Amino acid sequence: MPEILLEARKLSFTYPGEDGESPPALEGIDLKVAAGEYVALIGPNGSGKSTLLKLFNALLLPTAGEVFFDGRSTADARNIPYIRACCGMIFQNPDNQIVGATVEEDVAFALENQALPPPEIRRRVSEALELLGISHLAASPPHLLSGGEKQKVALAGVLAAASRCLLLDEPTAMLDPAGQAAVLETLQMLNRQRGITLVHVTHFPEEAALAHRVLVLHGGRLVKEGPPAEVLADLPLLRALGLKSTAAAELAWLLREDGFPLPRGIVHNRELVEQLCSYARRI
Amino acid sequence: MFIRTEDLTYTYFPGTPFAVEVLRGVNLSIARGSFTVLLGPSGSGKSTLLQHFNGLLQPSGGRVYVDGEPLGYSRRELLQLRQKVGLVFQEPESQFFAETLFDEVAFAPRNFGLSPAAVDKRVQRALQLVGLDDAAFLAKSPFRLSAGQQRLAAIASVLAMQPQALILDEPTAGLDQAAQDRLFALLQELNREQGITVIVVTHRLEQVVPLAHHFLVMVEGRIIMEGSAAEIFSRPDVLERCGLALPPATRLMQELAAAGLPFSTAIFSLEEARAEINAWRERRAQR
Ligand SMILES: Nc1ncnc2c1ncn2[C@@H]1O[C@H](COP(=O)(O)OP(=O)(O)OP(=O)(O)O)[C@@H](O)[C@H]1O
Ligand SMILES: Nc1ncnc2c1ncn2[C@@H]1O[C@H](COP(=O)(O)OP(=O)(O)O)[C@@H](O)[C@H]1O
Ligand SMILES: [Mg+2]
Ligand SMILES: [Mg+2]
């Protein structure tokens, strides 16, 4: 049984002042995320993705049900410093999360509340910068960096704070393709080499395909979960929700409709390449 | 020409140690009724350029012309300009100021002196066009919408101005697929049926290739290339230099071709890829 890091039990949430006006932002969510897991969270605009992330690190508290981080309920205020220290959050807009005058300062800021001795702070900051490949930017003012670099600075802050879990709210939405690729590569490295648990909200199907498990929210409810090969190959469901799958999954679906003998569960380009090559050998 | 620049330069924080020259002599022309896509890596100056088109930024050097006239920057001139040229910001929340979604979208029509009934109609219409017409949203603060809903609200408030030119700075960021499809269908309709001039910044080529007449590529504050989709795509070296990703269908066909399958890589959409693969399958079946 893997260690469970995040858990929601019968979780519902209504924004204060919204009751009666609109349906709850989240309703009846039961969910477990294992330590070291990489989970993608997808769903239409307004389906409750960002709300769920904010409940996970106790920025919001449940209206009903409970949320646990490492077995500790967010409803108990004494747990909140621990949860916030372990669970870092990265937002869409890299500009809104920068506080320091230099990259180094900005990363160190993430450690401010941990009362560490200065040499330990310096060690952690330089280690985080090195791991993300941005040591050369240590003395630069963050506002002069590209969007992808800014997101790496934000990630370095979370890493220096030794977070075990990262909550990522569309971290690449404001980046160009180069910045997007750099951030995705970093996320995979953090998950694989550091065992950091990732919950990654995205509108890009290619990003969801990188996760171990994909969760689909719709109207505040969890409507499907499973490995990418299952969820991202379920085109009827995705289409019904106004979502899209990866290019490989979409094309495989179209070709199957045309009578091409292809198996289900194709999500990545390499899988479609393999299938077509094997078809070419057979026929 | 609807929008034209002449040797446009712009420096943030001029005369200070922080001065950065972001636009370095931009000369461009955008025809009335055209659909233009502005490409370029992050930091190349795209957003800075767009903010010159509706007078939010004033050139450090050179000139901007809209509708044949050099821009003036008095309050009155700017008001007139902004009725003609609507800009949707890259960061939608930075343009909100009203207490409710209704008031936000109603701001421009009210300013134009429309009757309350006419304002109401414009607001409903604009929200309907972007798919944000759930009545529960009207009284809600725009700051209390989800990220994607905020972007749709920002687009609706510019649509409600009924401008002659619509400029959108990375409008699909944070939108779900259905909202993106709806937005591009709307832009195409406004452009083709109503002759609205459209200018879009985006990194996602696949969505704009079928719609756009004209592509501009900006690198380090200069337009380094312009032309039709075919002209731009024939230069993958340039695309790569400015960090642009090829459409997913193109990348997929490239991987198939690299694995030795006899496919063209000059393919930009899934439908084209589908046709290419089916034709190949038929040729093999006939052998
Ligand atoms: N601060 C708030 N106050 C009131 N309602 C809110 C607030 N933030 C979000 N909502 C509402 O809660 C619902 C869920 O919002 P949430 O931001 O979690 O959606 P999301 O899945 O992240 O959407 P997007 O893809 O657009 O970011 C939406 O209907 C939204 O309008
Ligand atoms: N308000 C501002 N103040 C200072 N510098 C800015 C401001 N806005 C943008 N810049 C700088 O100008 C350059 C171009 O930015 P921008 O126009 O936003 O590019 P793009 O939209 O192509 O990503 C970047 O180096 C950026 O840091
Ligand atoms: Mg969100
Ligand atoms: Mg920009």
Q: Which tens digits make up the pLDDT trace of A59-94?
A: 999 999 999 999 999 999 999 999 988 999 998 887
The mean pLDDT of A23-28, rounded to a whole number, is 94
Q: Which of A92, A254, A280 is the closest to B270 by Cβ?
A: A254
Strand ranges inside A14-115, DSSP E: 26-34, 38-42, 64-69, 72-73, 87-90
Comparing CA positions, the residue from B280, B276, B281, B278 lying closest to residue B266 is: B276
pLDDT of residue A49: 98
CA distance A237 to A216: 10
Domain boundaries, chain B: 3-92+163-243, 247-287
B211, A184 Cβ separation under 8 angstroms: no
What fold is seen in the domain B3-92+163-243?
Rossmann fold (3.40.50)
Q: Measured at the alpha carbon of residue A204, what is the angle toward residues A202 and A210, in degrees to the nearest 5?
A: 80
Lowest mean per-residue pLDDT among A20-34, A244-258, A259-273, B115-129: A20-34
Hey, are the CB atoms on B243 and A273 less than 8 Å from each other? no
Reported as a single tens digit per residue, the pLDDT across B104-131 is 999 999 988 899 999 999 999 999 999 9
A24 pLDDT more than 90 = yes
Per-position pLDDT tens, chain B of length 287: 799 999 999 999 899 887 889 999 999 999 999 999 999 988 899 999 999 999 999 999 999 999 999 999 999 999 899 999 999 999 888 889 999 999 999 999 998 889 999 999 999 999 999 999 888 899 999 999 999 999 999 999 999 999 999 999 999 999 999 999 999 999 999 999 999 999 999 988 888 888 999 999 999 999 999 999 888 877 777 777 777 777 889 889 999 999 999 998 888 889 999 999 999 999 988 87
Which tokens sit at B145? 């919408």
Which residues in B lie closer than 8 A to residue A179 (C-beta atoms)?
42, 243
**Three-class SS of residue B285?**
helix
**Residues present in chain B in total:** 287
Q: Measuring from each residue's beta carbon to the nearest atom of ligand 2, which residues come in under 6 Å?
A: A 144; B 12, 20, 22, 40, 42-48
Strand ranges of the sheet holding A72-73, from the earlier edge strand across to the other edge: A26-34, A4-13, A64-69, A72-73
The mean pLDDT of A88-106, rounded to a whole number, is 86
A196 pLDDT more than 80 = yes
Q: Quick one: DSSP state of residue B135?
A: G
Q: How far are the Cα atoms of A95, A119, A135 from residue A138, in angstroms, in the given order?
A: 17, 16, 5
pLDDT of residue A76: 96
Q: For A266, what's the count of Cα atoms within 13 Å in the CB-facing half-sphere?
A: 23
CA distance A56 to A87: 8
The mean pLDDT of A109-124, rounded to a whole number, is 85
Shortest Cα distance, chain B CAs vs residue A125, angstroms = 26
Phi, psi angles (nearest 5°) of residue B201: -100, 130
CA dihedral B144, B149, B155, B157 (to 10 degrees): -40
A50, A41 Cβ separation under 8 angstroms: no
Hey, are the CB atoms on A269 and B255 less than 8 Å from each other? yes
Hey, are the CB atoms on B179 and A45 less than 8 Å from each other? yes
ipTM, two decimals:
0.91
CA distance B287 to B279: 13
Shortest Cα distance, chain A CAs vs residue B72, angstroms = 30
Using a cut of 0.90, tell me whether the model's pTM lies above it.
Answer: yes
How far away, in angstroms, is B45 Cα from ligand 4 center? 7
CA distance A229 to A244: 14
For residue A249, give the chain B residue with the closest CA: B270
**Type of residue at A2:** P
Q: In 10 A of CB A160, how many CB atoms?
A: 25
User: Which DSSP string corresponds to A154-201?
Assistant: HHHHHHHTT-SEEEEESTTTTS-HHHHHHHHHHHHHHHHHH--EEEEE
Shortest Cα distance, chain A CAs vs residue B178, angstroms = 5
**Three-class SS of residue B63?**
strand
Q: How far are the Cα atoms of B1, B10, B30, B68, B204 from residue B5, in angstroms, in the given order?
A: 10, 12, 9, 11, 25
A43, B146 Cβ separation under 8 angstroms: no
The mean pLDDT of A134-147, rounded to a whole number, is 86
Which residues in A lie closer than 8 A to residue B281 (C-beta atoms)?
260
**Closest protein CA for atom 4 of ligand 2:** B12
How far away, in angstroms, is B50 Cα from ligand 4 center? 9
User: Which ligand neighbours the alpha carbon of B173 most closely?
Assistant: 1
Q: Quick one: DSSP state of residue A95?
A: G
Which residues in B lie closer than 8 A to residue A147 (C-beta atoms)?
42-43
Q: How far are the Cα atoms of A262, B162, B255, B259, B277 from residue A273, in angstroms, in the given order?
A: 11, 47, 7, 7, 12
A146, A179 Cβ separation under 8 angstroms: yes
**Closest protein CA for atom 6 of ligand 2:** B12
Residue that has been written with the tokens 């029509």 in this structure: B109
The mean pLDDT of A140-166, rounded to a whole number, is 85
pLDDT of residue A19: 64
CA distance B95 to B9: 25
